[in-house]
Amino acid sequence: MRDTFLSAVGPLKRISPAVHILNGHIIGMDERAGQEKFRSLLRKLSKVATLVRVEEACDMVRQRRQPSRPMIAFTFDDGFIDCYRDIAPVLEEFGTNALFFINPNFTNGNKEYVERFLKKNVPDLPPRPPMNAAMVRELADRGFVIGAHTMDHERMTSDATDFLKAQIVDCRAAVENLSGKPCDYFAWTYGRYSDISEAAIQVATQTYKFVFSSERYAQYTSPDGKILNRRHFECDWPFAHLKYFLSSARRFC
């Protein structure tokens, strides 16, 4: 019923003239068709919106700039191999980049760690291996941005100082070691405000220039302008579905 509704109503909608920062995970449930579906989605998006580099989008939000035309930037969580193999090449065809949030221990994990990670943290996604360290470094050298997503994809509801330091602060150094670039971007796992404690928000905003959620999308930022709110999507979504979700106006708090 949801798909039927979105397919019927989505074509009637227009993407709102706003800065839209999207967050996805993989190229699609069907890897074989993933690139072509993503390419088709970007082709349609580029006719009604401007695809911008993620650094530009973040700066526009931070400067509270309200564009007259839709501006769309991309982020992807968890650092699956899809980012290197499928997503980055398609984005390069359209002259833009993405911000890839990685979990360093997933990137460097052995077979047993990776299997536990997939089963525990992303059971609803088809199992995909992570990018390796060489892939992360290459993407950074190609102009993609590498961000931090905690060391182990842990839920950030704890107030424990040692835990927060390991998962948030130490994660920055680990990401910088992998990418060879400064790490100014952090997105907490699961993305809801109920998935992070006030103590963790404080540590994250003190450690990183930009911190991201995945909800409260009607507002550009919250609370007090410290956190940028993203909108979930996936590369294989129908264009009509994405149009529907991006049609609502966005406002600054």
> What pLDDT does residue 223 have?
80
Return the pLDDT at 203: 98
Task: Give the bridge partners for 71, in sequence order.
Answer: 19, 50
Say whether domain 2-245 belongs to CATH 3.20.20.370. Answer: yes
Predicted TM-score of the model (pTM): 0.97
Question: How far is CA 76 from each of CA 47, 221, 253, rounded to the nearest angstrom?
Answer: 23, 19, 25
- CA atoms within a 13 Å half-sphere pointing along the CA-CB vector of 18: 22
What local confidence, expressed as pLDDT, does residue 224 receive?
A: 82
Local confidence pLDDT in tens for the 253 residues of the chain: 788 888 899 988 999 999 999 999 999 999 889 999 999 999 999 999 999 999 999 999 999 999 999 999 999 999 999 999 999 999 999 999 999 999 999 999 999 999 999 999 999 999 999 999 999 999 999 999 999 999 999 999 999 999 999 999 999 999 999 999 999 999 999 999 999 999 999 999 999 999 999 999 999 998 888 999 999 999 999 999 999 999 999 999 8
